[in-house]
Each structure stands twice: as structure tokens, then as C-alpha cells.
Structure 1
Amino acid sequence: MSNHRLDDASFIEGLPGIELVGKVAIAYILGRVKAKKICRIYSPYFPSVAYISDGRIIPNFTDLYAVEDPAKAIIMYGSAQPSSSYGQYEFCQKVIDLASKHGATRVFTVGGLGGKEKISPRREIFCSSTDRRYLEKYLELVDGQVYSGQIVGAVGILINLAGSRGLENMCMLVEIGESTPDYFAARRAAEALIKLTGLNIELSSVEEIMKLSNRVISQLES
């Protein structure tokens, strides 16, 4: 593990979830910034599945990366989420511990939101937080709406744990279509994360996001 520490950094999450919205968005961002790996996390709570790349078995993992310029950020990329509720809490607690240790003061998570009959071409973002003050601070920045409903998985647990630590936080759920991955939703998620972190990345077209994220995922998971 690297001892690399940032001051007043934003932590952003991208784990596989509904239509892979967060994973693709984070892979795209990693492809556009200069990032240094802080650590790799393995967990016994990850699904009992190994992936094969060119005959080599690859275990599930989560990586944390540090970005210093143009803004300080800690980026979380992973190949899987824990498959049990107990595992989710144990895993997310460790992630928040590491994020805090390395200088995160804000936590932003992103996932997909299904079940909507009419999907806007731009994809709406629905936001929630442990504190109304954080919603008021960040909601307008991402042109989001306040969310009411359930949040499943790390995207919500990380926010709850961040709030218990006194970290600013916001969870974003992007409405999805029927494709997997949903690159339109991933583009909207990347746009929001870029604005929240101040990474100042020029947003590419959906086609370019698809190409770059696929290339980055192939590199990270090989």
C-alpha cells in the first residue's frame, strides 16, 4: 500500500452495478487523468468467481487511485461488489477507512436507476445524502433531482458510512435504458463526477467513452 496522501480530496466510486453505469464512468475518467495506484483490495466477500484472461485466472479486486492535478481525487475502481449484506458493510467500512486515511473529505457515489417508463435523452440524475446541507451544496452543480426510494449495494452504504464519519457526501442514481452497459447513462455519470471533483476533463461523445472505457477496463482486468 502506498502512503500517498492528498489534502481535501474528493472520493469517487465506480463498482459494477445496474447497467455498469459507475464502472464505465470511472474507467473513462481513469483513462483521462494521470493517476497513481494507492492500493488493491481483495475480499473473501467478493463473489466466488474468477475471471480468465488469455488463460490466466484473475481474482476479483478493488483498486484505489490518487489524482493530484487538476484537482485532488481518490478514485475507486473494482471488478465486483461483495455478494452479502455483511460483506458489503465490512468492505465499505474498509474503503471509507482508507479514503479518510488518504485525505478524502467528500464522498460521491454513482449507480444506475431502473424501472422508469420514460427515459430522458440526457438521462436524469437522482441524488440523496445523509445531510440536507450537502444536497443543497451539490445538487444544482450536477443538475440533479432529489431522490426518494431504496438504494442497494455499496453505492448507498458508502454514503451512510461517510456521513457517520462527518464526510460530505452525495449518492447519484442515473436513469438507465435497456442496454448493458448503458453508455449514455455512464456519460451522464462521468459528467456529474467531473463537475463535483473539478477534474476539468472535456467530456467525449458516447462513442469515444465506449472505446476508451473498454480499453481501460481491458487493461485493468488483464
Structure 2
Amino acid sequence: MKETEIIRLKDDVQLNNPIMFVGLPGVGHVGKLVVEHLIENLEGEKVIEIYSPYFPPQVLVNNDNTIKLVNNEIYACNINGQDILILAGDHQSSTNEGHYELGSLYLDLAEEFGVSRIYTLGGFPTGEFNHNEGVIGAVNNINLVEELEGYGVEFRENEPGNGIVGASGLILGLCDFRNIDAACLMGLTSGYIVDPKSAQSILRVIDRILDIEIDEEELEKRAKEMEKVVEKIKTMKEQQETGNLPQKDEDINYII
């Protein structure tokens, strides 16, 4: 594979003024968790698969030990008469060039379907394990600020201070060249672990945007499991700081 390939699973997808949510792996996997939850709860139908040499050279192993070449996917769904596209997947680009090529490709597809607004979803790293409820926003159109504040999004001057790296920020910037309104919604997260609680914060904003109430049960279960991990990490960190480290056979390794 020398070039990015788009596989269309349906040729007759007809959408009316859809909005698009983008949630690719990133800080805390926050955006990825949100879109996966949306796809499941809104019964999204996969319409496009995207394969690219800009993704890592990797396959994923399924439960039955078959493999799946890493890719990104676009799903379509409808809720309360609002058509929605959801970009989800396994990876962002592994190169700067790939980020721009794939970002432009995603927007080509968005224009093809007549997308009127794009929300990119991600995490806002705080460096603290204590969870803070909140969603930080950035927009490419100042007129969106007041509307999103009404949905509970907070805007902080010059934040994030280092900008928004990766697909969440780049797509926002590239939308300027396509005259597509776009916003980035970032849940507060430590930045160290997969963070379902931060994903819940963004999901509640999306509830207000779409005027629905999406079931959070599965995210809530994952959040409670992650809380246990966080408490163990905090305990180990305190032990390291005090010099009271656990014995070797009590040590715990985490894969998160």
C-alpha cells in the first residue's frame, strides 16, 4: 500500500446537513472513548473504511485470534432528525506529512456529505490525578463561543497554552480553508491514563448539543474501574515519595 485507500461500504448514503464528531486516539483516549460510545448508543452504521501507510505498521488481534489491519472508520447515524457522521479509529498519523494528508482527506469526505459543522474531541491534560469536571473549548469561528458556553463549555484565554496537537487541532485549522465551522471540545484529564470520566464530561456536552440523553452506563463502569487503578497509583506514588516502597512481590505493574 503506497497511498491512502478509501473503501466505501455503501454507495447510497444520503445525509441532510449532518454534523460530524471526530474522536481519534490521543490524550487520555478521551475522544476515542466518546465516539465509540456514540457509535454504540446511536447505532451508527459504518459507511467508510480508511487505510493508510501513514498509520503504524500494525495489525490488531481479535478475540478469535484473527487479525485486523489498523484503520480509521466513518459511521453514519440519525437522532431526532439530525444526521450525524462519526470519525473513529485505531490511530492518528505517525508523521507530520500524514497528519496533513489525512486531515485534508477527512475534510474532503466531510464536504462530500455536506457537513455543516465539525466537533473534534480530545483531552486537556492537567497533570493531576484528581478528576475535575469540565470541558475546555476552542473554535475557528468566534460566533460559536456564546453558543457553546450555553452548553457548558468553558473558554480560557490562550488555553491550551501549547496549542492543540494532532488531528483535533489540525482539523480545526484546516476547516478555515473549507468554510466549515468547527470546535474542539477537550475534557479535563490527567493525561497519564485512559480517562472514561473525562469522556463522560464531553458526552454530557454532546447531550445538550443534540438535545438528547445518552446512556452513560458503560462509561460509568469503566470510570469506576479506573478510579481503583488511580487510587493504587496514588498509593504507590506516596510510597515512593516517603521511601516506604512495597516489597518486590507486592509491586504492581499496570497496562492502561
- Common topology (TM > 0.5): yes
Give distance in 2, aligned partners of 1:47 and 1:190: 29
Pair 1:44 & 2:47 matched: no
- CA contact under 8 A between 1:5 and 1:101: conserved in structure 2? no
Pair 1:59 & 2:69 matched: yes
Q: Offset of 1:105 from its aligned partner?
A: 0.6
Pair 1:188 & 2:197 matched: no
Residue 48 of structure 1 aligns to a residue in which SS?
A: coil
Summarize deviations over 1:131-164 as a string: whole Å, max 9, x none: 2112233232133223342111000111111222
Q: Which moved more, 1:54-63 or 1:40-49?
A: 54-63
Q: Please tell me the residue identity of whatever aligns with 1:143.
A: V
Normalised by the length of structure 1, the TM-score is 0.85
Q: Which moved more, 1:53-62 or 1:74-83?
A: 53-62
Q: Please tell me the residue identity of whatever aligns with 1:46.
A: F
Q: Please tell me the residue identity of whatever aligns with 1:130.
A: N
Match of 1:204 in 2: 216
Bigger Rg, which one: 2
C-alpha RMSD over aligned residues: 2.2
Q: Please tell me the residue identity of whatever aligns with 2:139.
A: S
Normalised by the length of structure 2, the TM-score is 0.74
Give distance in 1, aligned partners of 2:115 and 2:28: 27
Which structure carries more relative contact order (alpha carbon 8 Å, separation 6+)?
1
Q: Which moved more, 1:135-144 or 1:183-192?
A: 135-144
Q: Which runs of 5+ in 1 are unaligned?
A: 212-222
Q: Which moved more, 1:37-46 or 1:175-184?
A: 175-184
Q: Percent identity among equivalent residues?
A: 24
Give distance in 1, aligned partners of 2:39 and 2:213: 11
Q: Which runs of 5+ in 2 are unaligned?
A: 1-7, 225-256
- CA contact under 8 A between 2:48 and 2:73: conserved in structure 1? yes
Match of 1:172 in 2: 185
Q: Identify if the C-alpha distance between structure 1 residues 144 and 5 changes in structure 2 by more than 3 Å, giving closer, same or farther.
A: farther
Pair 1:130 & 2:140 matched: yes
Match of 1:99 in 2: 110
1:62-141 mapped onto 2 (5 Å cutoff): 62-70=72-80, 71-117=82-128, 119=130, 121-122=132-133, 124-141=134-151
Q: Which moved more, 1:75-84 or 1:187-196?
A: 187-196
Match of 1:29 in 2: 38
**What is the number of residues matched between the two proteins?**
209
Q: Offset of 1:204 from its aligned partner?
A: 2.0
Give distance in 2, aligned partners of 1:138 and 1:172: 10
